[in-house]
Amino acid sequence: MAHVAEASRPLRILVVANQKGGVGKTTTAINLGTALAAVGERVLLIDSDPQGNASTGLGVPRAERRVTLYDVLMGGTPLLDAVTPTRLPGLDLAPADPDLSGVEIELGPEARRSFRLRDALEAVRASGRYTYVLIDCPPSLNLLTVNAMTAADAVLVPLQCEFFALEGLSQLMRTVELVRGSLNPRLEIQGVVLTMFDRRNRLSEQVAGDVRSHFGETVYQTVIPRNVRVSEAPSFGKPVLVYDINCAGSQAYLKLAREVVQRERARREAA
């Protein structure tokens, strides 16, 4: 019955982005999506990275990706036609494949090329099927990332606890400002999540402190630890919450999901 009261709740679209690679972006998209589904949300994860790692990590092999995001962005296929159920109740996937890497060239100078994903998401919004859409982006600023940010309500930034973290973050903030100024004035930062945190490493503590002093309450309280089970899970085509629910990484992602939901509830109440 919980979902009956929430049926009219507007869809919230979050893009998981960082222009720097290797920060735990896809891992965060997969496991946050799984954790949100575990706490009762209805989630669609859109894999917008030509590498298709989010699709693989959710156990959807290439052979089963018959309709992908490429078909949606290039051919006008309805996004709901690309949706593939995962093995997890409450979590669906719009998969990617390597064809996506050609989108930038193939769309060329076409009008509204930055709005393709936003337009495709209108039918998803109208369907009332989901409470959250998470978009996993490539680790670069290209047309796929711009499409994701143009379509999104907010950006969730995974940030690795290492030396160059703040440099990459300031780059991303400039990108968000550019998109907000020209394509999507409502875009905001939902939060920054510290990933690959190692308590034994003094640098992790120092980076976490620096990020919190720069960005204050934008940074989630939850920190994702460096955890071998999190690293192993994708090779089994499973989110870590399915692979090992009791490990520190799984518990951290469940905690992060609760924090995201609380933040969203507070935002709605303040509106």
Q: Which residues make Cβ contacts (< 8 Å) with residue 254, sequence separation at least 6?
A: 35, 38, 39, 241
6 pLDDT more than 60: no
Across 128-132, 184-188, 242-246, least confident range: 242-246
- Tokens representing 68 are 């992908």
Q: Which of 226, 229, 228, 224 is nearest to 241 (CA)?
A: 229
Q: What mean pLDDT is reported for the chain?
A: 89
Provide the residue count of the chain. Answer: 271
Q: Which residues make Cβ contacts (< 8 Å) with residue 184, sequence separation at least 6?
A: 118, 149, 150, 151, 152
pLDDT at 213: 87
Strand pairing report for 43-47 and 132-136: parallel
Q: Collapse the DSSP code of 225 into the 3-class scheme (helix H, G, I; strand E, B; otherwise coil) and give the result.
A: strand
- Higher per-residue pLDDT: 230 or 21: 230
2 pLDDT more than 60: no
pLDDT at 228: 87
**8 Å CB contact between 189 and 260:** no
**8 Å CB contact between 253 and 240:** yes
**Nearest-10 Cα torsion for 248, 266, 157, 220:** -40
